[in-house]
C-alpha cells in the first residue's frame, strides 16, 4: 500500500493528465457518439440500448432546425426516434436531453418516476408542443416523445468523443436542414444506431460499419462504439476521449449492460437455454460468436472520465475512496436510524411518491409535504434544497438518500466533485450534531483531502 504522500502525488499527476485531456477535448468542436444503456423489461433486440450523437458545435434554432452554436452554448444531442410526429430526427440541447431542465441547478437530487414524468411534461409544454402536442384530455400525449428529454433518469450512458471542425459542422447543418425530415425508422435496417453511423460517417467517411457476425447484420450502438474506438486508434492525430454520464440517483430502476444482438441472445437464459435444448449445434455456434467477437471483453467505461454538470470531466472516484465513503455513510445512518438506516433511500422514495410536485418561485422543482397538519415545501434540486421552510431533518434525509443511491454505483460513474458537494450539503443540513457524527464528517474530509 502506498503512503499518503505518494498516493497524493499520483493523484496530482492523474488530475493534471485528466484536466489536460479534458481541456484539449473541449478546445475545438466535437462529435460524441452516445452509447446509452437499455432499461426496462427487454428482449434481445432492445437490450442493445440506444444511440445518439452529441454535437458540441451545433445548436438548435428549433428541434427541427440546426444552426452553429453561439459562445457559451453547449450544443445538441441528435438522434432518430420512432413515432414522434413523423420526424426522422430531432435535436435537443444537451442539459434538457439529459435532465429535462434548462439549468444545471434545477436537476433533482433524487429522482423517481413521478418526478421524471413531471419534469419531462413541463419541458414538453414549454418547448416541444409543436412535435408532441397535448393529448385529447389536455395532458401529456402517448408515444415515444418522452425519449427526447431526461434520458439520464432512465439510464447511464457512455460518450466517445472525436474532434470535428467548424467547416464540417456547417456542412452537416446544411445537409440536415435541406433534407426531408421524414421518419425512416425500422428496427432492423433504419434504427437509431444507423442514424448515428450516418452522422459520424459524414464527418469521417467509412469510419463506422455494422457487423454481419456479431449482430447478424443489424447496426447496434455497441458495434458503433467499438468501431469508433478502433478508428481513433488508427488515427492518433485526432483528439479522442471517453466519458461516462451517470444515471441520476433515485428510485428509478437502474439500467443494464449494453449488448450486441448475438451476445444479448447468448446472455439471456430465456432465449439461449431453450435453443440449447432444441439445437445444441445452434447454441454452440452462438457461443462461438460470443467468444470470438470479444463481446464479454468490451467495457465502455474503460479509461473514461466522468461527466460533471457545469464543470470539466474528471477522473472517476477510485475504489478505495468509494469504499471509505460507503463505510462512513453506513456508520452515520446506523447512528441516526438504528432500526432502518440501511433503507433511508427507500424511506425517502416513499415520502417523495406521496408528495405533491410543484415548482418554487424561481422555477425549480420542489415537493409539498404535509407535516404536523401543515404544508411544507422542500426544494429538491441543488439550487433550492436549502432555501425552503422544510425542517433540517427532512432535508438531511433527502441528501442521505441521494448519497446512498449515488454510492451504490460502480466507481466508473462517480466523480469526487459530486460526492464532495453532496457531503457538504449533508453537513449544512445537520447543524449541531453528536460527537460521533462530527468524527464521521472529519474522516470524510480527510478522504477528500487526499485529492488535490
Are β-strands 305-306 and 240-245 bridged in parallel, bridged antiparallel, or unpaired? parallel
265-272 LR contacts (CB < 8 Å, sep 24+):
265/44, 266/290, 266/295, 268/44, 268/47, 271/44
Contact yes or no for 433/442 (Cβ under 8 A): no
Task: Quickly count: other Cβ atoms within 10 Å of residue 45's Cβ.
Answer: 16
* pLDDT tens readout for residues 21-40: 443 334 469 999 999 999 98
Whole-angstrom distance, CA of residue 213 vs CA of residue 129: 42
d(CA 51, CA 370): 42
Q: With contact defined as beta carbons under 8 Å apart, do 210 and 217 qualify?
A: yes
Separation of CA 20 from chain center: 23
> Cell numbers at residue 108, please?
433533482
Q: Which residues contact 300 (CB under 8 A, 6 or more apart)?
A: 35, 158, 222, 225, 242, 258
pLDDT tens for residues 45-63? 568 899 999 999 999 999 9
- CB distance 246 to 412 below 8 Å: no
pLDDT at 167: 96
How far is 81 from 78, CA to CA, in rounded Å?
10
Residues of the chain falling short of pLDDT 50 = 1-27, 43-44, 266, 269-273, 275-279, 282-283, 286, 434-437, 440, 452
Amino acid at each position: 500500500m502506498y503512503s499518503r504522500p505518494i498516493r497524493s502525488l499520483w493523484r496530482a499527476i492523474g488530475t493534471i493528465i485528466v484536466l489536460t485531456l479534458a481541456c484539449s477535448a473541449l478546445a475545438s468542436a466535437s462529435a460524441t457518439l452516445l452509447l446509452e444503456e437499455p432499461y426496462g423489461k427487454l428482449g434481445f433486440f432492445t437490450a442493445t440500448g440506444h444511440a445518439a450523437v452529441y454535437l458540441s458545435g451545433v445548436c438548435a434554432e428549433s428541434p427541427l432546425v440546426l444552426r452553429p452554436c453561439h459562445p457559451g452554448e453547449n450544443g445538441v444531442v441528435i438522434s432518430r426516434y420512432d413515432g414522434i410526429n413523423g420526424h426522422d430526427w430531432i435535436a435537443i440541447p444537451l442539459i434538457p436531453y439529459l435532465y429535462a431542465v434548462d439549468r444545471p441547478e434545477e436537476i433533482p437530487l433524487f429522482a423517481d418516476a413521478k418526478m421524471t414524468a413531471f419534469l419531462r411534461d413541463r419541458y414538453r409544454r414549454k418547448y416541444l408542443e409543436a412535435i408532441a402536442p397535448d393529448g385529447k384530455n389536455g395532458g401529456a400525449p402517448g408515444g415515444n416523445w418522452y425519449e427526447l428529454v431526461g434520458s439520464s433518469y432512465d439510464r447511464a450512458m457512455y460518450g466517445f468523443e472525436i474532434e470535428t471542425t467548424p467547416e464540417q459542422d456547417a456542412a452537416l447543418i446544411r445537409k440536415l436542414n435541406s433534407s426531408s425530415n421524414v421518419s425512416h425508422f425500422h428496427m432492423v435496417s433504419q434504427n437509431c444506431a444507423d442514424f448515428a453511423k450516418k452522422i459520424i460517417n459524414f464527418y469521417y467517411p467509412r469510419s463506422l460499419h455494422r457487423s454481419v457476425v456479431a449482430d447478424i447484420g443489424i447496426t447496434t450502438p455497441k458495434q458503433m462504439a467499438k468501431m469508433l474506438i478502433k478508428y481513433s486508434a488508427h488515427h492518433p492525430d485526432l483528439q479522442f476521449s471517453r466519458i461516462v454520464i451517470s444515471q441520476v440517483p433515485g428510485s428509478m430502476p437502474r439500467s443494464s449492460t449494453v449488448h450486441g444482438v448475438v451476445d444479448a441472445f447468448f446472455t439471456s437464459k430465456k432465449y439461449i437455454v431453450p435453443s440449447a435444448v432444441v439445437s445444441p449445434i445452434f447454441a454452440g455456434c452462438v457461443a462461438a460468436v460470443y467468444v470470438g467477437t470479444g463481446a464479454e471483453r468490451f467495457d465502455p467505461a474503460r479509461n473514461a472520465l466522468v461527466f460533471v454538470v457545469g464543470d470539466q470531466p474528471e477522473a472517476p472516484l477510485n475504489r478505495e475512496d468509494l469504499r471509505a465513503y460507503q463505510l462512513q455513510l453506513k456508520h452515520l445512518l446506523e447512528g441516526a436510524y438504528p432500526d432502518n438506516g440501511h433503507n433511508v433511500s427507500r424511506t425517502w422514495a416513499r415520502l417523495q411518491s406521496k408528495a405533491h410536485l410543484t415548482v418554487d418561485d424561481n422555477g425549480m422543482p420542489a415537493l409539498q409535504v404535509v407535516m404536523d397538519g401543515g404544508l411544507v415545501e422542500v426544494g429538491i434540486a441543488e439550487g433550492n434544497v436549502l432555501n425552503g421552510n422544510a425542517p433540517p431533518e427532512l432535508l438531511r434525509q433527502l441528501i442521505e438518500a441521494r448519497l446512498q443511491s449515488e454510492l451504490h454505483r460502480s466507481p466508473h460513474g462517480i466523480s469526487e466533485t459530486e460526492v464532495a458537494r453532496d457531503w457538504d450539503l449533508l453537513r449544512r443540513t445537520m447543524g449541531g450534531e453528536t460527537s460521533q457524527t462530527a468524527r464521521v464528517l472529519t474522516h470524510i474530509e480527510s478522504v477528500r483531502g487526499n485529492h488535490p
